[in-house]
A = this chain, B = another copy of it.
Amino acid sequence: MNIEDLPTPALVIDLATVERNLQRMASYVAKHHLALRPHTKTHKSLRMARLQLQAGAIGLTVAKAGEAEVMAEAAEDLLVAYPALDPARSKRLAKLAKSRTLRVAVDSAFAVDALASAARAAGVILGLLVEMDVGFHRTGVHSPREALKLAEHIDQSESVRLDGLLCFPGQINDPPAKQQQTLQPIAELLSQTLQLWKKQGLEAKIVSGGSTPTALQSHLIAALTEIRPGTYLYNDLNSVKVGACSLDDCAARILCTVVSNAVSGKVVLDAGSKTLTSDRAVDDPLHGGFGHVVEYPEAKIVRLSEEHGEVDIRWCEHRPQLGQRVHVIPNHICPCVNLQDSAWLAMADGSLEALPIDARGRLS
């Protein structure tokens, strides 16, 4: 398949950029003696997961049980960074734990009991990490004391094993250079928690941090033993906007065709919310647009319908022509990948290889 013949909209991944992104993260974790357990939600691809493992990742992170089942083909060691507390999910994870090292993050005694019960029924041991809220206020226990209580509950339960602590600093979108101050309270919170555990004889073999924006400043949180960035592999416009990378580091682009220029000052691309998603720009959710048009940096994707991307071209020196193809770097690459059955991997020699999105749509 030549790029000229690709039906659009098509998700095209540049392998050389992926390899550079892999290398940057590998160098960082090596320098700071951190382990890397990348979140596979971004690529949902076995091939990409294997590249991450070859580049030194110690295992893979997933959110849902269905993703764990797919990624078990690539890795011996899986972390479910998600409170999988219903009978269906905990049973599926316990089954996987028969052949894989499987860990789950929890933030309730209810989840511990559900997972312990499934593990007991399957005759396995599940490793559990206590999730701590470090400011994103989504999931996670809110204090060192609560974390201790949950750790003790795990320690006293059968069929589960206390493996450590997990956090997600999703609220931090400062540029890396400014993160020292914002990461300081997190470092203190984790450290206090671990001291409390230690006093009670509880050990955290793993202390897991996450998120691409903070990944390269993880050494500022001394307690961390590993990190779980996902987006760093492909990057996206929001990664650029928070200062985590440059446009050149964005490995994933949507190849689109200009299908209309009938409305004055606009062209329409054949990529709408069913391709680019309605995810907003971090810096300006209402008016920040829906992606960066590589060939027309002055253009702005101002509105999406399901299959239409409306582009304001009034500030463009040259106007995109009907039938012309352009590349869009989306605001948020992870949900865009999840809309494609298959992407195209652009190789160094210019050829394209189909890249199946193996875990696409694994929602449960």
Contact = CB atoms under 8 A, between A and B. Distances in A.
Interface stretch (A12-20, A134-142, A158-166, A194-202): A134-142
Interface stretch (A29-37, A234-242, A253-261): A253-261
Contacts of A84: 259
B306 A63 contact: yes
A173 interface: no
A268 interface: yes
B108 A262 contact: yes
B335 A363 contact: no
Given A108-B260, A139-B262, A262-B107, A361 B338 contact: no
A286 interface: yes
A7 B364 contact: yes
Contacts of A296: none
Interface string A314-342: 00000000110000000000110011110
Contacts of A257: 85-86
Please classify the interface of chain A as helix (H, G, I), strand (E, B), loop, or mixed, using the class held by over half of its residues: loop
Interface string A112-152: 00100000000000000001010001111110001000000
A8 B133 CA distance: 24
A140 B85 CA distance: 50
Q: How many copies of this protein are present in the complex?
A: 2
Contacts of A338: 274, 306, 339
A274 B322 contact: no
A131 B41 CA distance: 40
Interface stretch (A183-191, A212-220, A276-284): A276-284
A242 to B, nearest CB: 16
A21 interface: no
B339 A363 contact: yes
A338 to B, nearest CB: 5
Nearest to A271: B363
Given A322-B108, A323-B110, A308 B139 contact: yes
A71 to B, nearest CB: 15
B138 A303 contact: yes
A37 to B, nearest CB: 17
A111 interface: yes
A101 to B, nearest CB: 22
A229 interface: no
A234 to B, nearest CB: 14
Contacts of A275: 363
A28 interface: no
A5 interface: yes
A306 B41 contact: yes
A83 interface: yes
A105 to B, nearest CB: 10
A53 to B, nearest CB: 22
A103 interface: no
Chain A to chain B: the 3 pairs with minimum beta-carbon distance, closest first: A7-B364, A107-B262, A278-B278
12 contacts: A85-B323, A107-B262, A108-B261, A114-B323, A137-B263, A139-B263, A142-B262, A142-B264, A273-B277, A286-B286, A307-B363, A339-B361
Given A7-B364, A141-B262, A285-B286, 15 more contacts: A5-B88, A7-B89, A9-B363, A83-B260, A86-B257, A86-B270, A108-B260, A133-B262, A133-B263, A138-B263, A139-B263, A271-B363, A306-B338, A338-B339, A340-B361
